Structure 1
Amino acid sequence: MRHEPSTEATRARQNAEAVSPARRHLLLGAGATTAAIVTMTKPVHAEAATTTVPTSTAYAAHVPPPSVGQSPWGDVLNEVITAPVSLRPNEQTLPVSPQPFTRISSYHAHIYFDEDNHHKAALLRQWVLERFPVELGNWNLEPRGPHVTPSFYFGFTNDLLAVIIPWLQLNSLGLTILLHPNTDDPRADHLDYAMWINRSQPVNAYRMASHVEPHEVEKILPNTHPTIVPERG
């Protein structure tokens, strides 16, 4: 005579099937009761919540021993605080008249990049040499001169200013670009007469000369051969 499984046994088998195959085999083979199965199938996080970390494994801060000796800076507590001498031109005394714009002999554009956006700089460099007669410099993978990050530069003559500035504004690809004139004051060119496209960044030009002779002012010798006329709307 065939006996139907009891309701309790059926419920036990259903609960067992809800767990992993390995645990189901163990539970069914051991003849675990419904209560045992339900207990063992409690969420793991519920058990973990009651677990405490032994005191021996608790985090202990590491404090290095104090240094022994005297500071090389000496007595700075009583140091007299004074304003530094201004390095900006024409601010020692108020100028009588504006500077002539003819002091500017040419311009430089410095395009900065890093390991995350160098591909954008490479594309912009290609666009420039295809479209403008400029003096294109090296691809600098390390800081060079007053520039504190990788960069490349191109120089251009004054007659291209009205075209190149708006072109770079629209085609910067989000890169930081420094534009500065070339006068007889290289330090002021980089720090005071400069303009930026997108964000600015530090320029280490404080040790640059504040005056050079006329023959030392930057000259532009184009080395590109553009084949594309800049796009027009």
Structure 2
Amino acid sequence: MTDPTPNAPVATHDELEIQRRNLLLAGGVAAAAAGIVAPGRAKAQEGSQVPPPARQPRAPAGGKSPWGYDTWKQATPQPVSIRPGEAPLPQQPRAYTDIKSYHAHVYFDEDTSQKAALLRRWVSERFVVELGDWNQVPRGPHVTPSFYFGFTNDLLHVILPWLQLNSLGLTILLHPNTDDPRSDHLYYTAWINRSQPVNGYGMKKPGEGEPPVELIYPNTKPFVPIET
């Protein structure tokens, strides 16, 4: 293959070095024009750069916070107890006979309401319980829709395993009834499937003249034998 430019002069080593330096210089000028600074130069210029002032949010014209403008000065309140009404550590265990009955709270939402309806029918067909109304919205300490049924102690050994096998994946709170409803809902509980929050913050023991323990009045007439 013949050389297309046989008479072109051949650059010397020094000439090639000069061309390389010119290209590097040209690249540095272009980078500076584009706002790109070499790492060494960026460090040198770091102290000389002044950040722009922070932009303050503008409040709506004529508006005013309903909380005022001195909330940051308020002292942090210290309640009498982190959990109002909570008793100190007991000196000895409670007697299991303090449990007078049990409640089961079955939770559901718009995606699981059909499962809840089926489970509710199964319970009423098989067990002598006090079946409550539908709670389509949160009620009492329960933060989601639910229904409830109460039963006496002699049914615990049957209802608990039955619910474990027939929960249909629903969250169920099973708690005893003693004279301390707050502890009943928060500390003495048994959960089937996952647990969920219970708002027991304001629950108190029964007052003077009130029944010491919530009573159970069965209102179902079962007609289906329990599966064994």
Counterpart selection for 2:146 from 144, 151, 168: 151
> Cα–Cα, structure 1 residues 182 and 212, in superposed 2: closer, same or farther, change >3 Å?
farther
Counterpart selection for 2:124 from 125, 129, 135: 129
Query: Which residue of structure 1 aligns with residue 72 of structure 2?
Result: 76
Q: Is the 8 A contact 2:124 2:220 kept in 1?
A: yes
How high is the TM-score relative to the length of structure 2? 0.65
The answer for unaligned runs of 5 or more in structure 2 is: 1-56
SS at match of 1:110: strand
Q: Is the 8 A contact 1:89 1:188 kept in 2?
A: no
Query: Which residue of structure 2 aligns with residue 225 of structure 1?
Result: 221
> Cα–Cα, structure 1 residues 222 and 190, in superposed 2: closer, same or farther, change >3 Å?
same
1: CA distance, partners of 2:161 / 2:85:
28
Which structure 2 residues correspond to residues 3-18 of structure 1 after superposition, within 5 A? none
2: CA distance, partners of 1:78 / 1:145:
31
Which structure 2 residues correspond to residues 1-233 of structure 1 after superposition, within 5 A? 65-67=58-60, 69=64, 71-72=67-68, 74-76=70-72, 79-80=75-76, 85-87=81-83, 92=88, 94-212=89-207, 215-232=211-228
How high is the TM-score relative to the length of structure 1? 0.63
Q: Is the 8 A contact 2:84 2:202 kept in 1?
A: no
> Cα–Cα, structure 1 residues 80 and 140, in superposed 2: closer, same or farther, change >3 Å?
closer
Deviation for aligned residue 1:106:
0.5
> Cα–Cα, structure 1 residues 212 and 167, in superposed 2: closer, same or farther, change >3 Å?
farther
1: CA distance, partners of 2:191 / 2:84:
18
Q: Deviations over 1:172-202 (max 9, x none)?
A: 1010111111111112211222221111112
> Cα–Cα, structure 1 residues 77 and 217, in superposed 2: closer, same or farther, change >3 Å?
same
> Cα–Cα, structure 1 residues 145 and 80, in superposed 2: closer, same or farther, change >3 Å?
closer
- Report the aligned-residue RMSD: 2.6
